[in-house]
Structure 1
């Protein structure tokens, strides 16, 4: 079994990137009291690499998880330090049901750090003002020749990354719950989906053209794509009608039963015909 206990984390000094910052941020999710050292001093690193209670990440030239050493630079086949840390401590960092979704975020950090799949070439096609999560973290760097200032900025970057990690965990748990709800959805005879929770991503499934789901003011009917079909204007005649968007992409009524009855009258659409 991999070791989990440590009292110190060592990473490299000078310029920092998303992988070392997020690696540290993920460790704080379950161990906030560790000592942090940023250095490339060989004496310190050699000592730390041998101490099984010191995590060494993104520096040191060794990947030995049983000794809590997580560098990747010595082997291009390895993922980034953030991925190595996550792989080792995943159950401590993120609840298991949310892990498939949280791992999508970690994989992006890995791509940006290692340029797998020539991700930088793809980013070149985007507007100059576009910022990746790696760009945002790099923005915390200041004078790389001033170690005191850089250590301060690194900690600010970690604080920023901690909030992002918390957000990603929240949405990963939410996505897991919504996926469960989607799998259990009721489907009307005309292939309209009935969901018990608001699901922002139901359209990406392309299983239905229309879906009924909760709204802050009642229940809504949404169209997946208004070029295929729209929520008809006749919904305004329903009891408890509240609102219809001018584009016809959605409309809201007060009661679920009214929404379901109206949705049942909509044109049947099969996903494979669109």
Structure 2
């Protein structure tokens, strides 16, 4: 397949549009041109040529939030679900649709807005936007670099970022399935402890599933290979826990914490009593049982 985008100065719009389509069509030939004869021979034309995926017409297509689509937004509307299924093959049809929608609302909105002159940045001191980051790939005056080369460097960055954003959203559904199974197979009503194998993003999902508030502490393996005992917040974005770790543990570390608890391998306990660590799963689980009983 051949895809045409305009040449010259590039923006996040067509950069991410190409990143999207290259993921779907790995052998895609991308041509940067304004030559109408060349454009007519291409299968997909975006941000140029006045066609379906150009947004420079007076009667712009609007998103449901009223922001006009840019070329990337228009491409995502048609190909976002397909992209999501490639990046997250474990998702079913409904989940793929939901992830594509969330990415559109939370991530692509900023690019749609920026490329259509809609201001989203309302801070007195504006922060750097994603569109500005893409523009930073344009060759500097001090560089002897071809614009097309810089464009495809920006596309490579955009492709990695877009794929990672989609994976991040898609991972929620994998975690949801894992958490449902864990809650159904562990005796959390009596132990008040949930054990997770691996660093699963569990907080929001647990609050969603554990309506009876049976789980007081979660034991899980950290990315470093050690194990953690963490409190469960009462509600989303709250620092108030269903139950804190024991007060005498606060700020203690290593041998001092192990001596107090009688559990070998203790690493630390946070002064705010929301998380503690142990070298082993067995040690972390022993600490969790002590916390439940305290």
SS at match of 1:243: strand
1:110 aligns with 2:108: yes
Q: Residue 66 of structure 2 corresponds to which residue in structure 1?
A: none
Q: CA distance change for structure 1 residues 82 and 189 in 2, over 3 Å: closer, same or farther?
A: farther
Contact kept, 8 Å, 1:222 with 1:250, in 2: the verdict is: yes
- Offset from partner CA, 1:51-110 (integer Å, 9 cap, x none): 5xx1111222222xxxxxx22343232533223333433325433517444653444443
1:163 aligns with 2:171: no
Q: Residue 27 of structure 1 corresponds to which residue in structure 2?
A: 21
Q: Residue 253 of structure 2 corresponds to which residue in structure 1?
A: none
Contact kept, 8 Å, 2:268 with 2:276, in 1: the verdict is: yes
| Pick aligned residue for 2:219 from 208, 212, 215 | 212
Give the Å deviation of 1:120: 5.9
Q: Residue 49 of structure 2 corresponds to which residue in structure 1?
A: 60
Q: CA distance change for structure 1 residues 231 and 169 in 2, over 3 Å: closer, same or farther?
A: same
SS at match of 2:146: helix
Contact kept, 8 Å, 2:111 with 2:130, in 1: the verdict is: no
Once the two structures are superposed, the pairs formed by residues 134-153 of structure 1 within 5 Å of their partners are 134-142=131-139, 149-153=146-150
Contact kept, 8 Å, 2:263 with 2:286, in 1: the verdict is: no
| Pick aligned residue for 1:76 from 55, 61, 68 | 61
5+ long unaligned stretches in structure 1: 1-5, 64-69, 269-274
Figure out how many residues of one structure are paired with residues of the other and give that number: 246
Q: Residue 194 of structure 1 corresponds to which residue in structure 2?
A: 195
- In the aligned structure 1, how far is the partner of 2:111 from the partner of 2:239? 39
SS at match of 2:30: strand
CA RMSD of aligned residues (A): 3.6
- In the aligned structure 2, how far is the partner of 1:105 from the partner of 1:141? 26
1:180 aligns with 2:177: yes
- Offset from partner CA, 1:15-66 (integer Å, 9 cap, x none): 3222211111122224333322222333433x24xx5xx1111222222xxx
| Pick aligned residue for 2:281 from 226, 231, 256 | 256
Give the Å deviation of 1:219: 2.5
| Pick aligned residue for 2:88 from 91, 95, 105 | 95
Contact kept, 8 Å, 1:195 with 1:213, in 2: the verdict is: yes
1:42 aligns with 2:36: yes
- In the aligned structure 2, how far is the partner of 1:245 from the partner of 1:119? 49
SS at match of 2:230: strand
Q: CA distance change for structure 1 residues 218 and 141 in 2, over 3 Å: closer, same or farther?
A: closer
- In the aligned structure 2, how far is the partner of 1:182 from the partner of 1:135? 39
Q: Residue 221 of structure 1 corresponds to which residue in structure 2?
A: 229
Contact kept, 8 Å, 1:12 with 1:40, in 2: the verdict is: yes
- In the aligned structure 2, how far is the partner of 1:21 from the partner of 1:11? 9
| Pick aligned residue for 1:17 from 1, 11, 16 | 11
- In the aligned structure 1, how far is the partner of 2:106 from the partner of 2:285? 40
5+ long unaligned stretches in structure 2: 64-68, 250-256
TM-score by length of 1: 0.71
Q: CA distance change for structure 1 residues 18 and 189 in 2, over 3 Å: closer, same or farther?
A: farther
Contact kept, 8 Å, 1:142 with 1:153, in 2: the verdict is: yes
Contact kept, 8 Å, 1:193 with 1:211, in 2: the verdict is: yes
Of the structure 1 ranges 236-245 and 133-142, higher mean CA displacement relative to structure 2 is found in: 236-245
